[in-house]
Structure 1
Amino acid sequence: MTELLWGREPARSRGPKPAITLTEIAEAGIAIADAEGLDAVSMQRVAGELPVTKMALYRHVPGKTELVAVMSDLAMGPPPERPALPWREALRTWALDLYDGFARHPWLLQSTIGRRLLGPNELAWLERGLAALAGTDLNGGEQLDAILVVTSHVRNIAQQTATFPGQSTGLSEEEMEQALGRILATEGERFPHLMRAMQTTADSEGQGLEFGLDRILDGLDLLLRRRVAVPD
């Protein structure tokens, strides 16, 4: 797995030059996952999108697990280059960039969970997030925990708002809102707090990502200010 993720193709036996590369295989898998969801990706399906047989893929990647790992790191890509910013603005920008990545490839929310080997692009994202906090008084463990909290918030909002190809509740977002509106129109007395909240959402609709992110950053800012006011 290390060799695959870190750009070293498996050793090949002598013979004609392969018709495809590992990157091309992963790109074909990404296209399938983007269009139809991660469950649609299989060695057979990927081979069908390329000018090779299924067996030919195994010269490059042992199976679907390894393929998805390579796909994930390739789809993540390196973090965008940003100008130098104060820690809060830098971490906020980093988080919004991360959200955009999940929005482009929702299946990454499924493939990038659990204990696993990280590839160069994913580690580059972690490095960039930590770089935003490098000049603060947070120690290494606190910096990593801060990144974990911010990433968890970004992932949670992305999960709640994502549309996963191949997986559907049968309702669009608009249809779900209309259905809830009809329910509250007849059952509103049972849910008075929800009714009042829904009536005042116009100005804050869709702002859960930034609202939560700013509250996390407020907490980090408060912690750092307290350390300056009360030095060790």
Structure 2
Amino acid sequence: MHRVAAQLGVTKMALYRYVPGKAELVALMVEAAIGPYPPVKVRHSGWRERLEEWAGQLFDVFRRHPWALDATVGPRIMGPAELSWLERAVSALDGTGLSGAERMDAAALLVGHVRGITQQARATGPAGNPEAQLGALLGDLMQAHGERFPALTAALTSAARSHGQDQAWEFGLQRILDGLAALIDRRVR
């Protein structure tokens, strides 16, 4: 609060006239940075396409505002813009036969995937490819100790054939959606 007040050229106490505390200030910052869920560009008829678009949009937001990863963890104050994102994910699963709790859990699972991949990208820098960097780091270790870790050595060799292409985002997203599809199919029967 002190640092924000200083940047605004007011006293810390003056800032408290507008926000009661740090939690509310962070919530306002998240609201301003993330904003409401953007208008849908393409009308998708299926839940899967809507969730793919939603996850991609959220991924872009976290890449543009990496500080929001830390600001949006755990129980906290959420504003209408942030809630609009959750609304979009949950409503994408309307009519699928999933309960409200399952739709919330599906949204949480997708948010977890988006957050995890975004955090990996943030840790490796703007030009980083987490899978290629991991392969490079483990390459020397596997040459020296690969016989102790045969499954890992085989997996890294296979990944090297794809030139360390970063596939974790798409692979994870599709497996989550495949799992939801299997659950939805069981409910529809």
Do they fold alike, i.e. is TM over 0.5?
yes
Identify the match of residue 157 of structure 1 among 110, 113, 117.
Answer: 117
Contact 2:24 2:77 in 1 (8 A): no
Contact 2:23 2:76 in 1 (8 A): no
TM-score norm. by structure 2 comes to 0.81
TM-score norm. by structure 1 comes to 0.68
Report which stretch shifted further, 174-183 or 142-151.
174-183
Paired with 2:154 and 2:134, the residues of 1 have a C-alpha distance of 18
Give the deviation of 1:73 after TM superposition.
Answer: 2.2
Identify the match of residue 118 of structure 1 among 74, 78, 89.
Answer: 78
The residue aligned with 2:147 is 189
- 1:86-105 paired onto structure 2 within 5 Å: 86-105=46-65
| Unpaired segments ≥5 residues, structure 1 | 1-42, 166-171
- Rg larger in structure: 1
1:84 match: secondary structure: coil
| Unpaired segments ≥5 residues, structure 2 | none
- 1:56-71 paired onto structure 2 within 5 Å: 56-71=14-29
Residue 227 (str. 1) matches residue 187 (str. 2) = yes
Identify the match of residue 180 of structure 1 among 130, 133, 138.
Answer: 138
2:123 match: secondary structure: coil
Give the deviation of 1:189 after TM superposition.
Answer: 2.3
Paired with 1:205 and 1:120, the residues of 2 have a C-alpha distance of 37
2:8 match: secondary structure: coil
Count the aligned residue pairs: 181
- 1:31-50 paired onto structure 2 within 5 Å: 43-50=1-8
Quote the RMSD (CA, aligned, Å): 2.6
Paired with 1:164 and 1:197, the residues of 2 have a C-alpha distance of 21
Contact 1:76 1:101 in 2 (8 A): yes
Offset from partner CA, 1:86-137 (integer Å, 9 cap, x none): 1110011101111221222222222212222311111000111122112322
Paired with 1:187 and 1:79, the residues of 2 have a C-alpha distance of 48
Paired with 2:22 and 2:5, the residues of 1 have a C-alpha distance of 12
Pick the structure with more helix per residue: 2
Identify the match of residue 52 of structure 1 among 10, 30, 48.
Answer: 10
